[in-house]
Structure 1
Protein backbone atom coordinates (compact mmCIF):
# COMPACT_ATOMS: atom_id res chain seq x y z
CA UNK A 1 0.00 0.00 0.00
CA UNK A 2 1.48 3.42 -0.91
CA UNK A 3 2.42 5.80 1.86
CA UNK A 4 0.16 8.79 2.42
CA UNK A 5 1.37 12.35 2.85
CA UNK A 6 1.15 11.96 6.61
CA UNK A 7 3.32 8.81 6.54
CA UNK A 8 6.32 10.39 4.82
CA UNK A 9 7.88 12.35 7.70
CA UNK A 10 8.00 9.25 9.92
CA UNK A 11 9.22 7.07 7.05
CA UNK A 12 12.05 9.49 6.29
CA UNK A 13 12.95 9.72 9.99
CA UNK A 14 13.12 5.93 10.07
CA UNK A 15 15.34 5.94 6.98
CA UNK A 16 17.67 8.45 8.62
CA UNK A 17 17.83 6.30 11.76
CA UNK A 18 18.59 3.18 9.75
CA UNK A 19 21.37 5.01 7.91
CA UNK A 20 22.83 6.22 11.23
CA UNK A 21 22.61 2.72 12.71
CA UNK A 22 24.29 1.10 9.69
CA UNK A 23 21.21 -0.95 8.83
CA UNK A 24 21.38 0.17 5.17
CA UNK A 25 24.06 -1.68 3.22
CA UNK A 26 26.72 0.32 1.39
CA UNK A 27 25.75 -1.46 -1.82
CA UNK A 28 22.28 0.10 -1.51
CA UNK A 29 23.54 3.66 -1.10
CA UNK A 30 23.89 4.54 -4.82
CA UNK A 31 20.24 3.66 -5.49
CA UNK A 32 19.18 5.52 -2.39
CA UNK A 33 21.21 8.53 -3.50
CA UNK A 34 19.45 8.59 -6.87
CA UNK A 35 16.02 8.30 -5.27
CA UNK A 36 16.72 11.00 -2.66
CA UNK A 37 18.15 13.29 -5.33
CA UNK A 38 14.92 12.95 -7.33
CA UNK A 39 12.90 13.75 -4.20
CA UNK A 40 15.00 16.84 -3.45
CA UNK A 41 14.70 18.04 -7.04
CA UNK A 42 10.92 17.69 -6.94
CA UNK A 43 10.82 19.42 -3.55
CA UNK A 44 12.93 22.31 -4.80
CA UNK A 45 10.37 22.96 -7.54
CA UNK A 46 7.93 23.96 -4.78
CA UNK A 47 9.53 27.18 -3.48
CA UNK A 48 6.70 28.12 -1.13
CA UNK A 49 6.82 24.69 0.50
CA UNK A 50 10.59 24.95 0.79
CA UNK A 51 10.46 28.32 2.57
CA UNK A 52 7.64 27.27 4.90
CA UNK A 53 9.37 23.99 5.80
CA UNK A 54 12.61 25.84 6.55
CA UNK A 55 10.78 28.19 8.91
CA UNK A 56 9.10 25.27 10.71
CA UNK A 57 12.37 23.36 10.84
CA UNK A 58 14.21 26.22 12.52
CA UNK A 59 11.37 26.73 14.99
CA UNK A 60 11.29 23.09 16.15
CA UNK A 61 14.74 21.65 15.46
CA UNK A 62 16.28 22.62 18.80
CA UNK A 63 13.49 21.01 20.80
CA UNK A 64 13.68 17.67 19.00
CA UNK A 65 17.46 17.46 18.69
CA UNK A 66 19.07 19.36 21.55
CA UNK A 67 22.53 17.86 20.91
CA UNK A 68 22.74 19.18 17.33
Structure 2
Protein backbone atom coordinates (compact mmCIF):
# COMPACT_ATOMS: atom_id res chain seq x y z
CA UNK A 1 0.00 0.00 0.00
CA UNK A 2 1.48 3.33 -1.06
CA UNK A 3 1.57 6.25 1.30
CA UNK A 4 -0.18 9.44 0.20
CA UNK A 5 0.28 12.97 1.54
CA UNK A 6 -2.02 13.96 4.40
CA UNK A 7 -3.99 16.40 2.17
CA UNK A 8 -4.72 13.65 -0.38
CA UNK A 9 -5.93 11.32 2.37
CA UNK A 10 -8.47 13.89 3.54
CA UNK A 11 -9.96 14.26 0.06
CA UNK A 12 -8.15 17.51 -0.76
CA UNK A 13 -5.98 17.81 -3.87
CA UNK A 14 -2.27 17.31 -3.31
CA UNK A 15 -0.16 20.49 -3.24
CA UNK A 16 1.61 21.36 -6.50
CA UNK A 17 5.35 21.66 -6.63
CA UNK A 18 6.46 25.16 -7.45
CA UNK A 19 9.59 25.96 -9.36
CA UNK A 20 12.28 27.87 -7.54
CA UNK A 21 12.21 31.66 -8.05
CA UNK A 22 15.96 31.84 -7.45
CA UNK A 23 18.50 31.78 -10.24
CA UNK A 24 21.25 29.15 -10.14
CA UNK A 25 24.62 30.53 -9.09
CA UNK A 26 23.16 33.47 -7.17
CA UNK A 27 25.29 34.75 -4.26
CA UNK A 28 24.86 37.24 -1.40
CA UNK A 29 27.34 38.84 0.97
CA UNK A 30 27.88 37.45 4.49
CA UNK A 31 26.26 39.67 7.14
CA UNK A 32 29.47 39.69 9.20
CA UNK A 33 32.54 39.51 6.97
CA UNK A 34 31.07 40.36 3.53
CA UNK A 35 32.30 37.15 1.87
CA UNK A 36 30.14 35.72 -0.95
CA UNK A 37 27.62 33.10 0.22
CA UNK A 38 25.94 30.91 -2.43
CA UNK A 39 22.12 30.95 -2.26
CA UNK A 40 20.55 27.49 -2.50
CA UNK A 41 17.71 26.88 -4.96
CA UNK A 42 15.39 26.03 -2.05
CA UNK A 43 15.15 26.71 1.63
CA UNK A 44 16.13 29.65 3.76
CA UNK A 45 18.44 32.32 2.45
CA UNK A 46 21.66 32.15 4.47
CA UNK A 47 22.88 35.26 6.28
CA UNK A 48 26.32 34.01 7.24
CA UNK A 49 29.14 32.27 5.44
CA UNK A 50 30.06 30.12 8.46
CA UNK A 51 29.09 29.23 12.02
CA UNK A 52 31.88 31.48 13.29
CA UNK A 53 30.42 34.56 11.55
CA UNK A 54 26.94 33.64 12.82
CA UNK A 55 28.27 33.37 16.39
CA UNK A 56 30.15 36.70 16.17
CA UNK A 57 27.03 38.41 14.86
CA UNK A 58 24.98 36.86 17.68
CA UNK A 59 27.51 38.14 20.23
CA UNK A 60 27.36 41.65 18.77
CA UNK A 61 23.54 41.61 18.62
CA UNK A 62 23.40 40.46 22.25
CA UNK A 63 25.81 43.19 23.27
CA UNK A 64 23.86 45.80 21.29
CA UNK A 65 20.61 44.69 22.96
CA UNK A 66 22.17 45.26 26.41
CA UNK A 67 23.46 48.69 25.37
CA UNK A 68 27.17 47.78 25.44
CA UNK A 69 27.82 47.98 21.71
CA UNK A 70 26.47 50.02 18.76
CA UNK A 71 26.96 47.37 16.03
CA UNK A 72 23.92 46.69 13.85
CA UNK A 73 23.34 43.39 12.07
CA UNK A 74 22.34 43.95 8.44
CA UNK A 75 19.62 42.12 6.57
CA UNK A 76 20.01 42.00 2.79
CA UNK A 77 17.53 41.86 -0.04
CA UNK A 78 17.93 38.91 -2.40
CA UNK A 79 16.70 39.55 -5.91
CA UNK A 80 14.48 36.89 -7.43
CA UNK A 81 13.93 36.00 -11.06
CA UNK A 82 10.24 36.20 -11.98
CA UNK A 83 9.10 34.82 -15.32
CA UNK A 84 6.15 36.63 -16.88
CA UNK A 85 4.35 35.19 -19.87
CA UNK A 86 2.97 37.78 -22.28
CA UNK A 87 0.42 36.75 -24.88
CA UNK A 88 0.01 38.94 -27.92
CA UNK A 89 -2.91 38.57 -30.30
CA UNK A 90 -2.40 39.44 -33.95
CA UNK A 91 -5.22 39.76 -36.45
CA UNK A 92 -4.46 39.41 -40.12
CA UNK A 93 -6.88 39.55 -43.01
CA UNK A 94 -6.39 36.69 -45.41
CA UNK A 95 -7.78 36.85 -48.95
CA UNK A 96 -10.33 34.11 -49.53
CA UNK A 97 -11.05 32.66 -52.96
CA UNK A 98 -14.45 33.93 -54.07
CA UNK A 99 -16.57 32.74 -56.95
CA UNK A 100 -19.63 34.54 -58.25
CA UNK A 101 -22.89 32.72 -57.52
CA UNK A 102 -25.53 34.93 -59.13
CA UNK A 103 -25.97 36.75 -62.42
CA UNK A 104 -25.28 40.21 -60.88
CA UNK A 105 -22.04 38.81 -59.42
CA UNK A 106 -20.97 37.47 -62.84
CA UNK A 107 -21.80 40.84 -64.43
CA UNK A 108 -19.68 42.66 -61.81
CA UNK A 109 -16.75 40.30 -62.41
CA UNK A 110 -16.93 40.70 -66.20
CA UNK A 111 -17.17 44.50 -65.90
CA UNK A 112 -14.16 44.51 -63.58
CA UNK A 113 -12.20 42.35 -66.04
CA UNK A 114 -13.14 44.69 -68.91
CA UNK A 115 -11.97 47.73 -66.93
CA UNK A 116 -8.68 46.06 -66.02
CA UNK A 117 -7.95 45.01 -69.62
CA UNK A 118 -8.79 48.52 -70.94
CA UNK A 119 -6.58 50.23 -68.33
CA UNK A 120 -3.61 47.90 -68.89
CA UNK A 121 -3.76 46.25 -65.45
CA UNK A 122 -3.65 42.77 -67.04
CA UNK A 123 -0.27 41.43 -68.18
CA UNK A 124 0.18 40.86 -71.91
CA UNK A 125 1.26 37.29 -71.20
CA UNK A 126 -2.20 36.61 -69.65
CA UNK A 127 -4.25 37.99 -72.59
CA UNK A 128 -4.21 34.72 -74.68
CA UNK A 129 -5.47 32.70 -71.70
CA UNK A 130 -8.22 35.26 -70.99
CA UNK A 131 -9.18 35.41 -74.69
CA UNK A 132 -9.58 31.62 -74.84
CA UNK A 133 -11.80 31.66 -71.72
CA UNK A 134 -13.95 34.52 -73.07
CA UNK A 135 -14.31 32.74 -76.47
CA UNK A 136 -15.44 29.59 -74.69
CA UNK A 137 -18.03 31.61 -72.74
CA UNK A 138 -19.33 33.30 -75.92
CA UNK A 139 -19.59 29.87 -77.66
CA UNK A 140 -21.57 28.50 -74.69
CA UNK A 141 -23.97 31.46 -74.87
CA UNK A 142 -24.39 30.88 -78.64
CA UNK A 143 -25.18 27.18 -78.06
CA UNK A 144 -27.76 28.17 -75.42
CA UNK A 145 -29.34 30.65 -77.85
CA UNK A 146 -29.54 27.98 -80.58
CA UNK A 147 -31.11 25.48 -78.15
CA UNK A 148 -33.76 28.02 -77.07
CA UNK A 149 -34.64 28.75 -80.79
CA UNK A 150 -34.78 32.46 -80.03
CA UNK A 151 -32.23 35.23 -79.55
CA UNK A 152 -31.14 35.64 -75.92
CA UNK A 153 -29.91 39.17 -76.36
TM-score (norm 1): 0.66
1:40 pairs with 113, 117, 138, which one? 138
2:151 pairs with 51, 57, 61, which one? 51
Greater Cα radius of gyration, structure 1 or 2: 2
- Partner residue, 1:4: 101
- Partner residue, 1:28: 126
- CA root-mean-square deviation: 1.7
Report how far residue 46 of structure 1 moved. 1.5
Q: How many residues align?
A: 52
Structure 1 gap segments, 5+ residues each: 54-68
Which gives a bigger RCO, structure 1 or 2 (Cα 8 Å, sep 6+)?
2
* 4+ residue runs over 2 A deviation: 50-53
Q: CA separation in 2, counterparts of 1:52 and 1:30? A: 27
Q: CA separation in 2, counterparts of 1:39 and 1:52? A: 14
